[in-house]
Amino acid sequence: MEGNLKGLQRIVGEEGLRYDWERVFRKKPRSGPLLEVCPSNKEELAEIVKYAEETGLKIFTAYSTFFPSDVDYKDGVILTFSRFKGLERIEPDSLVAWVRRGSSFEEIKNELKKYKGVKILVPLVSSSDSVVESYASRVLLKASNRYPELPFATLHLVLSRGRIMKTGEHALSEEMGDNRDDPGPNLSRWFFGSDDYLGIVYLSCIFLFPEGERGCLIFKARIEDLGGIYKDVCRKELVQEAIGAEGKVLKRLSGIDFEDGFYVIFGFEGHPDLVKYQMNKVLSLMKGVQRAGEYEGKMVDQLDKNWTADGIVSYGYIPLSKLTDFYKEGKEVAENIIFSSYSRGGCAGFCAWNSGDWTRELTLKLKKEYSMVERYLPLSGAMNGYMKLLKKIKEMMDPANIFNPTIYEGAKHVES
Encode pLDDT of 369-408 as tens digits.
999 999 898 888 777 888 899 999 999 999 999 999 988 7
Mean pLDDT of 297-322: 94
pLDDT band at 412 (very low <50, low <70, confident <90, very high): very low
- Angle between helical axes of 2-12 and 42-55 (0-180°, round to 10): 160
Mean pLDDT of 306-333: 93
Give the model's pLDDT for residue 312. Answer: 85
Q: Does residue 378 have a cis bond before it (omega within 30 degrees)?
A: no
Give the model's pLDDT for residue 189. Answer: 86
SS3 of 211-225: the string is CCEEEEEEEEECHHH
Report the range of poorest mean pLDDT among 183-192, 274-283, 288-297, 362-371: 183-192
Give the model's pLDDT for residue 357. Answer: 64
Give per-residue burial for 103-118: e unless 16+ CB within 10 Å, then b.
bbbebbbebbeeeeeb
Q: Tell me how crowded residue 132 is: count the other CB atoms within 10 A of its CB.
A: 25
117 Cβ contact list (under 8 Å, min separation 6): 210, 211
Return the C-alpha torsion angle 319, 216, 310, 245, nearest 10. -40
Nearest to 358 by CA among 69, 139, 13: 69
Q: How far apart are CA 263 and CA 340, in angstroms?
A: 12
- Tell whether the model's pLDDT for residue 2 goes beyond 70: no
Mean pLDDT of 115-121: 94
Give the model's pLDDT for residue 358. Answer: 67
- Tell whether the model's pLDDT for residue 230 goes beyond 50: yes
Return the C-alpha torsion angle 258, 259, 264, 270, nearest 10. -30
The larger pLDDT score, comparing residue 328 to residue 361, is at: 328
CA quadruple 230, 234, 238, 241: dihedral positive or negative? positive
- Tell whether the model's pLDDT for residue 152 goes beyond 50: yes
Looking at every residue in the chain, the average pLDDT score rounds to 91
Q: Count H helices, E strands: the chain? A: 12, 19
The tens digit of pLDDT for each residue in 12-24 reads 999 999 988 888 8
In single-letter form, the type of residue at position 94 comes to S
- Tell whether the model's pLDDT for residue 73 goes beyond 90: no
Report the range of poorest mean pLDDT among 164-168, 265-269, 276-280: 164-168
Nearest to 368 by CA among 327, 311, 410: 327
260 Cβ contact list (under 8 Å, min separation 6): 246, 247, 248
CA quadruple 178, 182, 184, 189: dihedral positive or negative? negative
SS3 call for 257: coil
- Tell whether the model's pLDDT for residue 216 goes beyond 50: yes
161 Cβ contact list (under 8 Å, min separation 6): 49, 50, 53
Give per-residue burial for 157-196: e unless 16+ CB within 10 Å, then b.
bbbbebeebbbbbbeeeeeeebebebeeeeebbbbbbbbb
Give the model's pLDDT for residue 411. Answer: 37
Give the model's pLDDT for residue 183. Answer: 75
Do residues 379 and 409 make contact, with C-beta atoms less than 8 angstroms apart?
yes
Output the CA–CA distances (angstroms, integers) from residue 405 to 29, 160, 294, in the order listed. 16, 13, 49
Mean pLDDT of 325-353: 95
Give the model's pLDDT for residue 87. Answer: 95
pLDDT band at 184 (very low <50, low <70, confident <90, very high): confident
Nearest to 339 by CA among 215, 259, 260, 221: 221
Q: How far apart are CA 191 and CA 170, in angstroms?
A: 15
Nearest to 345 by CA among 368, 319, 366: 319
CA angle 379, 372, 414 (to 5 degrees): 30
- Tell whether the model's pLDDT for residue 65 goes beyond 60: yes
